Amino acid sequence: MQRRELIKLLGLGTIAAGIGNKAFSATNKKVKGPLVLSTWYNQSVTANLAAWKILEAKGTALDAVEAGVQVSENDWGNCCVGLGANPDREGHVTLDASIMNHRYEIGAVAALERIKSPIHTARLVMEKTPHVMLVGLGAQEFAVSQGAALEKEVLSDHAQKSYDEWLKKSEYQPIMNIEKQGGPHMPDPMESGEFNHDTIGMIAMDAEGNLSGACTTSGMGFKMRGRLGDSPIIGAGLYVDNEVGAATATGHGEEVIRICGSFLVVELMRQGHSPEQACKKAVERSKAKTPRDR
């Protein structure tokens, strides 16, 4: 906050506040919360509403993003977040999540099975352990020790259907055909059935002006067992710097990790780029740095 104030005093109007930078540069005033942003749209509107309820009541950005993304985690019909999501190629639903607050506190879980809210477990890792990430069985045992129920391992009907379909060819095709979708305006994957991934990442600013972010996913559908994407990796799938801004990512995690995507976006904002410019530069970096045979 102090740095944002300082930036304002220096008159560097284009320095990003991560969310709401336009308001910042247009008026040269401090961006005011509350604000909430999340990836994708249709499903995210309900998630944003849950976050908004908390922000509106002067709750913290941290509580807001946790409650917001939990809407997707609890949605049994979601292809790609929570226990109803698509499994890995061995038929197991494995979940990844990360959370970060305005004090640079971080928590993450990866390859977590049979636990309903990976984001809550990630928050507990942040708040109750000396570590920042727990994976696999250890993460599961920790969640249970903190009161989470160990759910039965069953696939949702839609996930079973998609998995059966996938098994026919057992092809791993995480690439989206954007051109086929008519450009970058991506349709809702639940309607089109054409996407095999769809994470929710959410960033928020509360009335105090503090930022937090959360990211949760089942990762790529039909991924290799043990594969992790960007979502549980701080700096890749999520980054929050209360002095500058926040970013979260969705898409092909391998590429986001390659460029430390969310951290890169925040660092570019720190250098004076608007959020939009920073995202564009990160995408350009990704394009330039991805090995050509990938």
Residues marked active site are found at 199
Q: Which of 123, 104, 97 is nearest to 218 (CA)?
A: 97
Minimum CB distance to ligand SD4, residue 220 (Å): 5
Distance CA 55, CA 36 (A): 9
Phi, psi (rounded to 5 degrees) for 214: -145, 145
User: DSSP state, 234?
Assistant: B
Sheet holding 106-112, edge to edge: 35-38, 200-205, 211-217, 95-100, 106-112, 133-135
Per-residue binder mask for ligand SD4 (CB under 6 A), 228-247, x = binder: -xxx----------------
In the beta sheet, which residues pair with residue 98?
108, 215
Neighbours of 23 (CB within 10 A): 15
In three-state secondary structure terms, 125 is helix
User: Up-side HSE of residue 104: CA atoms within 13 Å toward CB?
Assistant: 4
Between 227 and 270, CB nearer to ligand SD4: 227
- Give the total of residues touching ligand SD4 (CB under 6 A): 14
One-letter amino acid for residue 284 of the chain:
E
Q: Can you count the helices (H) and strands (E) in the chain?
A: 11, 8
Of residues 66, 73, 88, 198, which one binds ligand SD4 by CB under 6 A? 198
Q: Is position 87 an interface residue for ligand SD4 (rule: CB under 6 A)?
A: no
Distance CA 124, CA 109 (A): 10
Secondary structure string (H, E, C) spanning 240-261: EECCCEEEECCCCHHHHHHCCH
Between 20 and 174, CB nearer to ligand SD4: 174
Of residues 209, 253, 261, 275, which one binds ligand SD4 by CB under 6 A? 253
Of residues 251, 259, 260, 267, which one binds ligand SD4 by CB under 6 A? 251
Of residues 44, 117, 250, 262, which one binds ligand SD4 by CB under 6 A? 250
Q: Is position 197 an interface residue for ligand SD4 (rule: CB under 6 A)?
A: yes
Minimum CB distance to ligand SD4, residue 236 (Å): 9
Between 33 and 219, CB nearer to ligand SD4: 219
Distance CA 31, CA 268 (A): 18
Between 174 and 209, CB nearer to ligand SD4: 174
Minimum CB distance to ligand SD4, residue 175 (Å): 12
> Which listed range, 59-67, 105-113, 223-231, 280-288, lies at the site for ligand SD4 (CB under 6 A)?
223-231
Minimum CB distance to ligand SD4, residue 238 (Å): 11
Of residues 84, 107, 219, 235, which one binds ligand SD4 by CB under 6 A? 219
Between 114 and 227, CB nearer to ligand SD4: 227
Q: Which residues of this chain interact with ligand SD4, rule CB under 6 A?
A: 80, 197-199, 217, 219-220, 229-231, 250-253
